[in-house]
Structure 1
Amino acid sequence: MTNYKLNSKNLSKLTKQVAIPQYDRSNVKTGIVHVGIGGFHRSHEAYYTDQLLHDESITEWGICGIALLDFDSKIYNTLKEQDGLYTLIVKELDGSLTKGVIGSIVDYMFAPENPSKVIEKMASADVKIITLTITEGGYNYSEATGEFDFNNPLIEFDLKNPQAPKTIFGYLTQALKLRKERGLAGFTIQSCDNIQGNGHMTKKMLMSYIKKAQPELAPWILSNVSFPNSMVDRITPATSQSDIIQLQETSEIDDAWPVVCEPFKQWVIEDDFIAGRPAWETVGAQFVEDVVPYEKMKLSLLNAGHSVLGILGALIGYNTIDESVHNKAIRTFLNSYMDKEVTPILGDLEGIDLYKYKQSLLQRFGNIYIKDQIDRICSESSAKIPIFILPTVNTQLQEGGSIEYAAFVIAAWAIYSIGIDEKGEPLLIKDVLETILKEKALVAKNDPASFLEVESVFGKLKDSKKFVDAYLNAYGNILKYGVEECIIRMNDKVLNNI
């Protein structure tokens, strides 16, 4: 069997195996610069844009993918060798695979290699939109203060070295400065990250940086740059070696980094694009006046649900999310968390049946063909928990509601952060605060409440007697009985009596 290396030259040889772009990629100009060309971007925005480009009258919305960080060199080199092409593998609920080559990434750059080239690209008159998937932690937001963290060494570097930045804030500032100096229009900056009010967050953080780095630029940006909020959703697990091999065996495609994802996809966007935008609504996106309620629903249910399944499943010794959700006790616990603690704070959502939405989440989490790795879901929990879970906790504390389930998850995370599961096996913890979390987690073995002193994560939560009491109760019970037995008892509404 002949395997064809995925690139432009071999694209025409793949028509019998998979769907390929039916448009002339050489005619497509870059109108979008995307920072963070990982799996999610390639299963989501790049997919929508690829579908749009099949209308060959649309040639101005190609994507230039920017690999921002040093460890992004692998994806950059892969895309460079494959002419920006990659295979998207949709794992259907029945186990079948829907495969297609995506062609919307028509240019790609490695920022650490040539920062000035990236700045020039962003400043190009053809570029109308900068989109971002830089992870929740990339926004440099302090949970303790609610403000931009100027103590970050990378931010300190960018302030001293504006022409060779390392963070998105340094790049955007210099690109906007050039556009202003050259008399060009501004652009739209669109976050595609899992942050409620992600456009508001992007604007707040960028303006905080600019007021210190280039204060004279601030008024121009406020008049010439827009920051629409958006809600993004498509479960996209890390690509495994078995996915690469399966693609070779079933489709004769040698793709060094295909992307796998679930069939479900959703993109809800505020229609606030100052320099024009693609007609993504023609390929399934939804434009609305206010995306925040939908974003809150998704973050509080889907993303928080992922963290719940990941943390609890990791301690029990599971490797994938589907294993966790197929544990009846964990599934019941998650249902109760969503019903009792999240649903009451969401309010009315026009066009959304919350019961059906929550049931669909359980079905999606349980897709046995996705095999979403728990260590991926648990990675960078210090950035995720303040966004996915703590807003629910804080609202429920204000309203006198239930926080019992969330407190249990935080207690489990404290024990997880020690780095050993309940079988005595090491846990793979990937978190920018890993050292601090582990130090606090070890102290917490004798003084459990000390874990809540990580103020950059928990803010002032340690001052809430109601939460601390629930957390301490959960922590003690997990150590005594183990996660699964505690959840069973909790589901039976007797945990507080054990």
Structure 2
Amino acid sequence: MKTSIQLQQQNLEEVGRRMPVPNYNRSADKIGIVHIGVGGFHRAHQAYYLHQLRQLGEASDWGICGIGLREADAKLHDIFNKQDHLYTLMVKHPDGKIEPEVIGSIVNFKMGVTDSEPVIARMANADTRIVSLTITEGGYNFNPITGEFNFDNPDIQHELRHPNDPITVYGFLTAALKRRRDNGLPAFTILSCDNIEHNGDMARKMLLAFTEVQDMRLAEWIAQEVRFPNSMVDRITPVTTKADIETLTQKYGVQDAWPVTCEPFIQWVIEDKFSNGRPDFENVGVQFVPDVGPYEKMKLRLLNAGHSVLGLLGALHGHPTINACIEDEVFKNYLRAFLDKEATPILGNIEGIDLTDYKDSLLERFANPNIKDSVSRICAESSAKLPKFLIATIHENLAIGGSIKFATLVIAAWCYYSDKQVDQDRQPLEIIDAMHNDLHDAAKETVNDPLAFVKQESLFGGLATNERFTTSYTWLVQELYQGTNIKMLMLGLL
């Protein structure tokens, strides 16, 4: 065990004897990117790509300032202050090898919860040319079925009445863009990096819907000046555990209060549509394309939906992690059947992608025994994920007469999970969902009305009125409620 040393800028030379560290002068970097939602994924993905560029001696005008808009972001803010915004990225390989590296591309972090002005000022600064987002599906504030902006949100109502006191991402973006326009500065690009099909288009639609009500003239300027490229992002990034922190301290002698772990695989596909310049990300493997739509759909309907298939079915069975699910042949075969028979037929051809190879790689990635991605993380906020990842696939297969049975069992499992909140061995499940109460209330009515759960039109659209779906769903959900083992149901569908 090495003598441990605190991860800070002044200690980088010593830390550099133990793992790779930034070779660039971080203090000289300008802030060109403001990023809202600095979670593990951003630090393993966009910040890592920029770090790679900086290691090549490029992009010194593109340092990242992270932004926290939630009370929960205060913990990271405090850790970043202590660690000079440095953190360790731990890449975990299937053979057990761990590659740690200190990432230095984030050079500042501001909290917008208690004082909005510093955040607005940073976004309105002439050096800021991109504002990027990882705010999760729920952060876009749209109805998952209609796709329209949710004006009933109390925070949105507050911002419409008090434009100088923003709370949500829309309030902050609008305030900053207004200041830029008034100061004669060009608009920044808004770059969504969230798992939503056409994420840039969605960000544009939602921001304009909000701004048209708050300030129509500003909305017209945004529509003309701001670019919203669609992008597809991919890297599995589990929640950091105490064991990860201890490994870093004991094996490498580095004290980092919040390192990030990830798999080796990484991908980023972006439409090359920017308002005010961009880093040369293509120099570190980012793919720029005219239309990212087919790549987005592939990833959402295969990887993200595949995660949810394993997560919800695995939760009921009692599997703790995604790799544990894949080690179970029934789960592995069930996932492959879903991918082959229900997800793939609606994708069509995707230029440069062999879908069989892609699906093979997904199973290998999910099986990585050193990632140990928890099913509880995968199941979190399912109400924001499943309409786009899985329920849309059911609707499309119903329209073409395709198979729906594999995805339908996942919906039935979601109902049982939301109602009972325990697995089939009566062990408690951790339910994390903004719609937790609504889901539970609808699911518990299943004993009286087997379709109660899927009658939530905001999530399921008209599925409850589709005879082919309801016949399959009713049988499956009743089997679950009568105590049929989830694996037996899975085997019966294979």
Name the CA distance, whole Å, in 2 between partners of 1:80 and 1:340.
49
Equivalent position of 2:452 in the other structure: 450
The letter of the residue matching 1:444 is T
1:377 pairs with 2:397: no
State which of 437, 440, 455 in structure 2 corresponds to 1:438.
Answer: 440
Question: TM-score, structure 1 length as denominator?
Answer: 0.97
Equivalent pairs: percent with the same residue?
A: 49
Equivalent position of 2:488 in the other structure: 485
Equivalent position of 1:494 in the other structure: none
Q: How does 1:134-149 map to 2 (within 5 A)?
A: 134-149=135-150
Equivalent position of 1:79 in the other structure: 80
Name the CA distance, whole Å, in 1 between partners of 2:358 and 2:160.
45
Q: How does 1:321-400 map to 2 (within 5 A)?
A: 321-400=322-401
Call closer, same or farther: CA 1:85–1:464 in 2, change over 3 Å.
same
Q: Does the Cα contact within 8 Å between 1:144 and 1:460 map onto a contact in 2?
A: no
Q: How does 1:242-257 map to 2 (within 5 A)?
A: 242-257=243-258
- State the 1:57 CA deviation: 4.7
Question: TM-score, structure 2 length as denominator?
Answer: 0.98
**Structure 2 stretches of 5 or more lacking a match?**
none
The letter of the residue matching 1:56 is G
SS at 1:162's partner residue? Answer: coil
Superposition RMSD on alpha carbons, in Å?
Answer: 1.0
Equivalent position of 1:463 in the other structure: 465
SS at 1:390's partner residue? Answer: helix
Name the CA distance, whole Å, in 2 between partners of 1:391 and 1:144.
10
Render the CA deviation track for 1:116-170: whole Å, top value 9, x for unaligned: 1101111111000000000011001102322000011121122122212110000
The letter of the residue matching 2:485 is G
Q: Does the Cα contact within 8 Å between 2:405 and 2:493 map onto a contact in 1?
A: no
> Runs ≥4 in structure 1, deviation > 3 angstroms?
none
1:176 pairs with 2:180: no
SS at 1:448's partner residue? Answer: coil
Q: Does the Cα contact within 8 Å between 2:36 and 2:133 map onto a contact in 1?
A: yes
SS at 2:274's partner residue? Answer: coil
Aligned residues: 491
Equivalent position of 1:208 in the other structure: 209
Equivalent position of 1:496 in the other structure: none
Q: Does the Cα contact within 8 Å between 2:59 and 2:280 map onto a contact in 1?
A: no
Equivalent position of 1:420 in the other structure: 422
Compare 385-394 and 100-109 and name the one that shifted more: 385-394
- State the 1:391 CA deviation: 1.6
Q: Does the Cα contact within 8 Å between 1:316 and 1:421 map onto a contact in 2?
A: yes
- State the 1:413 CA deviation: 0.4
Q: How does 1:21-420 map to 2 (within 5 A)?
A: 21-418=22-419, 419-420=421-422
Compare 77-86 and 101-110 and name the one that shifted more: 77-86
SS at 1:449's partner residue? Answer: coil
Q: Does the Cα contact within 8 Å between 1:35 and 1:134 map onto a contact in 2?
A: yes
Render the CA deviation track for 1:15-51: whole Å, top value 9, x for unaligned: 1211000000011010000000000000000000001
- State the 1:184 CA deviation: 0.5
Name the CA distance, whole Å, in 1 between partners of 2:183 and 2:467.
57
The letter of the residue matching 1:8 is Q
SS at 1:231's partner residue? Answer: strand
SS at 1:34's partner residue? Answer: strand
The letter of the residue matching 1:227 is F
Q: Does the Cα contact within 8 Å between 1:143 and 1:455 map onto a contact in 2?
A: no
Name the CA distance, whole Å, in 1 between partners of 2:170 and 2:355.
37
Name the CA distance, whole Å, in 2 between partners of 1:477 and 1:410.
13
Name the CA distance, whole Å, in 2 between partners of 1:215 and 1:34.
26
